[in-house]
């Protein structure tokens, strides 16, 4: 019951029903049929990190060109300029590498690309030499991949890179403990941004504060509670709903992202008159579910302390309400005392309504895109702000 002519102000968009991943997936053929041509479009799939895979159509080349323009503009906050060299640590398969190599240099793009596949201590030592030889002022990475490198440098007491100006991270939620570790090890700022493959919302970290500025020319962002009502009070959290301006083939209109954000201040001292998200609490699939149906953000567990000094990697895994497995890849120095301390401290943070099981693995599995997920959530999580 809504006609495009009814859209007179931005508030009128709230009269349009929400769109979900499931709705788009079930009607994807109709989106393609209504577009004026089938030429110059491509089918894109997301990683399904929220537990729901999604495929959609977008304009070939055009969509990515717009995206890159926004990302470069965002990176300018960190001092990046087009043509600056950077190290890229963001995927298992390296485009441009020959015979399955784990690294390659792309001279035209001014990039040294390093694979996330099997990031062992032996390979990380080789990567560090390559980074030192390439001397790029910027590293572009997943938060999880640069965290692994930072942990190695700290453990091995390797000298950091003196030529480094900034670390640029995206495509995953950046947790406070990760940011503290990365900045401490590399001695430079970490700049993060929030967005998705759907290209319906983009927000960049402020260089003066820790919050995120939403790009209003990229799309409209709303926050809603579990009943679909608007969340506007500063400090309150809600599900992020996005209306993107960049996809004319599969328009994402009032799209429920399944991500949780926190309303920020109305203004920022940096001078940008952009809407502000105080922080991104992560996806619904980054929340633990307790016995009493409490939702526990994985970010609240704050893993950056000496508790994990003898751990190479860790990952939470939940498939039963009120119970979570903590998978650990142990270092050779790991002892029974580490077991006791980890169990005690994490259990205290989780509370009495969550049982913690420690399990030991040889390695943590990666996603198809090479990411290391901090939480593998098998339960259907529904946001409940009550």
Segment holding 282, helix H or strand E: strand 276-283
* Residue 240 to residue 224: CA distance in whole angstroms: 7
Q: What is the dihedral of CA 366, 371, 374, 379, to 10 degrees?
A: -70
Query: Do residues 385 and 226 touch, judged by C-beta distance below 8 A?
Result: yes
* Residue 236 to residue 225: CA distance in whole angstroms: 10
In degrees and rounded to multiples of 5, residue 329 shows phi and psi of: -105, 110
* Residue 24 to residue 324: CA distance in whole angstroms: 32
Residue 256 structure tokens? 């429920």
In angstroms, how far is the first alpha carbon of the chain from the final one? 31
**Strand order through the sheet with 237-244:** 103-106, 111-115, 86-91, 138-141, 166-169, 189-195, 202-205, 212-214, 276-283, 255-263, 237-244, 219-224
CATH H-level, domain 286-377: superfamily: ANL, C-terminal domain (3.30.300.30)
Residue 223's beta-bridge partner residues?
240
Q: What is the DSSP string of 33-92?
A: HHSS-STTEEEEE---TTS---EEEEETTHHHHHHHHHHHHHHGGGT--TT--EEEEEES
* Residue 314 to residue 318: CA distance in whole angstroms: 14
Query: In angstroms, how far apart are the furthest CA atoms of the chain?
Result: 68
Residue spans of the domains in the chain: they are 286-377
Segment holding 23, helix H or strand E: helix 21-26
Q: pLDDT in tens for each of the 386 residues of the chain?
A: 788 888 899 889 999 999 999 899 889 888 888 887 778 899 988 765 555 668 899 998 899 999 999 999 999 999 999 999 999 998 766 665 665 578 889 999 999 999 887 788 899 999 999 999 999 999 999 998 999 999 999 999 999 899 999 999 998 888 888 999 999 999 999 999 999 889 999 999 998 888 999 999 999 999 999 899 999 999 999 999 999 999 999 999 999 998 999 999 999 999 999 999 999 887 777 788 899 888 887 777 766 567 787 888 889 999 999 999 999 999 888 999 999 999 998 998 888 889 999 999 998 887 777 778 888 888 877 765 55
């Amino acid at each position: 019951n809504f006609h495009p002519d009814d859209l007179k102000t931005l508030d009128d968009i709230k009269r349009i029903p929400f769109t979900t991943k499931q709705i788009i997936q079930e009607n994807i053929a109709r989106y393609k049929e209504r577009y004026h041509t089938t030429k110059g479009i491509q089918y894109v799939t997301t990683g399904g990190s929220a537990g729901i895979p999604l495929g959609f159509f977008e304009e070939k080349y055009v969509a990515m060109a717009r995206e890159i323009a926004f990302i470069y503009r965002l990176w300018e906050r960190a001092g990046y300029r087009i043509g600056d060299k950077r190290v890229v640590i963001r995927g298992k398969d390296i485009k441009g590498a020959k015979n399955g190599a784990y690294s390659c240099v792309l001279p035209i793009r001014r990039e040294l690309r390093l694979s996330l596949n099997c990031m062992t201590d032996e390979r990380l030592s080789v990567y560090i030499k390559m980074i030192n030889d390439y001397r790029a002022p910027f590293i572009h990475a997943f938060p999880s991949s640069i965290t692994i490198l930072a942990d190695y440098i700290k453990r091995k007491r390797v000298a950091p890179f003196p030529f480094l100006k900034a670390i640029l991270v995206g495509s995953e939620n950046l947790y406070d403990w990760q940011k503290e570790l990365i900045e401490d090890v590399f001695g430079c700022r970490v700049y993060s941004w929030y967005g998705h493959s759907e290209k319906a919302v983009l927000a960049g970290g402020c260089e003066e504060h820790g919050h995120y500025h939403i790009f209003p020319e990229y799309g409209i962002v709303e926050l809603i509670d579990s009943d679909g009502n608007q969340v506007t009070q500063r400090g309150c959290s809600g599900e992020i709903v996005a209306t993107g301006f960049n996809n004319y083939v599969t328009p994402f209109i009032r799209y429920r992202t399944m991500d949780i954000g926190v309303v920020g201040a109305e203004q920022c001292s940096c001078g940008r008159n952009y809407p502000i998200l105080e922080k991104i609490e992560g996806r619904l699939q980054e929340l633990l579910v307790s016995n009493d149906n409490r939702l526990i953000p994985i970010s609240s567990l704050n893993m950056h302390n000496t508790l994990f000094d003898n751990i190479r990697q860790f990952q939470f895994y939940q498939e039963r309400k009120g119970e979570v497995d903590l998978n650990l890849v142990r270092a050779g120095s790991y002892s029974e005392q580490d077991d006791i301390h980890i169990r005690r401290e994490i259990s205290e943070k989780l509370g009495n309504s969550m049982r913690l099981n420690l399990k030991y693995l040889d390695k943590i599995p990666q996603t198809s895109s090479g990411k290391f997920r901090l939480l593998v959530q098998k339960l259907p999580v529904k946001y409940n702000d009550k």
